């Protein structure tokens, strides 16, 4: 009476054993087949405009021209090691390497985007990218970005690094704000840090300096500056002031160039100052000009 269950159990076990053996044979066949598959090509994709990194640079990093990848068995290629090699380059932000169904190695690169070039007081020169990271200059390409110099004590070790000083962070925030606005991106040519560690902006149009102070309340400060440009300067001329102080969020202070002409001209200038005040106050209740 117990024979049938025993036989059934033996048959089930035998089926499992045969299935397991089949899987082992199949895996062995796959491994043998995989060992015979070789890399047929390496394709590199760099989206957007190519700046610091190009196809030739990627080929050099991966030794493509030396045929260290093409023709090699796929299983012997360490994809993670290839990605690490690429990420070690200071101009590469992200790197993705994979093998497609055609046995081709695909490389996708994202470059760092510089938005600022800093020349510190130690005669060191470096870029700051869109994420606020310091990166070295390139011998292959010079980025046309805003330049900051003066009394900047931000050090640079020659490697990708974060910003360590408050003044460098303030400069980065200012440069990032300027680049996002087409008007100020076209008008502001340079950032200068004075001895008091205050930020000054050097415009492309006009000989005056714009005293920004720090990167606080940038919306309000640049709004006031725009009003000054539209309503005040057309009344008195672009050469009237040597400094436009916008470091206070609720006012604009114009510092005149030295007047050496007759008193009558000084009276005219005083009248124009009055016009400026009225113009500014007519646009916004929170903006005023102080002589």
For residue 81 the two structure tokens come to 């090691």
What integer pLDDT is reported at residue 146 of this predicted model?
Answer: 96
CB atoms near residue 243 (< 10 Å): 15
* Per-residue model confidence (pLDDT) at position 9: 64
Say what the pLDDT of residue 13 is. 66
The span from the CA of 53 to the CA of 61, in Å, is 11
pLDDT of residue 288: 45
Q: What local confidence, expressed as pLDDT, does residue 20 receive?
A: 66
CA nearest to 208, candidates 147, 252, 263: 252
pLDDT value of residue 19 = 65
Q: Which residue, among 177, 237, 227, 236, has the nearest Cα to 205 in the 3D structure? A: 237
What is the structure's pLDDT at 216?
Answer: 95
Q: What is the pLDDT of residues 226-243, one digit of tens each?
A: 998 888 877 777 778 889
- Residue 263: predicted pLDDT: 40
Which pLDDT score, from 0 to 100, does residue 251 have? 86
Find out whether 148 and 119 touch, Cβ atoms under 8 Å. Answer: yes
* Below-50 pLDDT ranges, the chain: 1-2, 25, 28-33, 262-268, 270-291
pLDDT in tens, 256-283: 877 555 444 444 454 444 444 444 444 4
Q: What is the pLDDT of residue 4?
A: 58
**pLDDT at position 16, please?**
66
pLDDT digits (tens, 9 = 90+) for 202-213: 999 888 899 999
């Amino acid at each position: 009476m117990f024979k049938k269950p025993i036989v059934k159990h033996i048959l089930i076990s035998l089926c499992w054993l045969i299935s397991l053996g089949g899987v082992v044979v199949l895996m062995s066949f796959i491994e043998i087949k995989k060992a015979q598959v070789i890399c047929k090509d390496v394709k590199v994709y760099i989206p957007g405009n190519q700046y610091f990194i190009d196809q030739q640079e990627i080929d050099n990093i991966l030794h493509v021209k030396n045929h260290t990848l093409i023709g090699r068995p796929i299983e012997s290629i360490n994809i993670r090691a290839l990605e690490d090699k690429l990420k070690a380059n200071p101009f590469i932000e992200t790197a993705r390497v994979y093998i497609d169904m055609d046995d081709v190695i695909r490389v996708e690169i994202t470059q760092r985007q510089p938005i600022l070039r800093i020349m510190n007081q130690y005669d060191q020169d470096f870029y700051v990218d869109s994420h606020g990271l310091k990166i070295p200059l390139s011998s292959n390409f010079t980025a046309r970005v805003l330049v900051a110099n003066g009394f900047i004590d931000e050090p640079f070790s020659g490697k990708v690094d974060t910003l360590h000083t408050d003044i460098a962070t303030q400069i980065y925030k200012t440069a990032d704000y300027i680049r996002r606005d087409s008007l100020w991106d076209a008008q502001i040519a340079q950032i200068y840090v004075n001895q008091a560690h205050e930020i000054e902006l050097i415009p492309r149009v006009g000989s005056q300096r714009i005293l920004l102070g720090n990167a606080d309340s940038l919306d309000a400060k640049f709004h006031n500056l725009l009003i000054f440009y539209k309503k005040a300067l057309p009344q008195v001329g672009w050469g009237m002031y040597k400094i436009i102080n916008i470091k206070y969020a609720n006012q604009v202070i114009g510092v005149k160039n030295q007047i050496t002409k007759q008193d009558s001209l000084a009276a005219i200038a005083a009248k124009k100052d009055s016009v400026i005040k009225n113009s500014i106050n007519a646009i916004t209740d929170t903006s005023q000009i102080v002589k």
